[in-house]
Structure 1
Amino acid sequence: MTTTARLSDLTVGQSARVVAVDATGDAGVRAMEMGLIPGTEVTLVAVAPLGDPLVFELRGYRLSLRKAEAAGVEVSVS
């Protein structure tokens, strides 16, 4: 069963596929420029001690995003 969620809702070790990115603001455009485009597989690999930022692995590299930025990315979780 596949459900949709926000990138900020993933737990460490969980993988998902990007469905859509809210690119209305600068953060959304930057996220897309860094590889968060629909169809991309993303895994949450770490969370900072206070819960922000989040570290994701995608396309062979690691990307840190603030929780608010990650909330602008819709993902499909299976």
Structure 2
Amino acid sequence: MALIITDDCINCDVCEPECPNEAITPGDGLYVIAPERCTQCVGHYVEPQCQLVCPVDCIPVDPAHVESEAQLKEKFRRLQLD
């Protein structure tokens, strides 16, 4: 599953540099996560780094992009080839 940043985002800039897949970018008033690049840090870390540093806990799992652990690992492998 990809993650999503909710409207509770305070645009604090701490999540973007933590993303190893460069999936987080500035949006219109809050940051956004590109689901095609988000692996929930699978392949890099045990836990999603953006969730760990978020001061307002506004980065839940995106129910619109449900993926298994195997799918996240495959996405990680594919991103490494880019």
The TM-score with structure 2 as length reference comes to 0.35
Q: Which has the higher contact order (CA 8 A, sep 6+)?
A: 1
The TM-score with structure 1 as length reference comes to 0.37
Structure holding more helix per residue = 2
Structure holding more strand per residue = 1
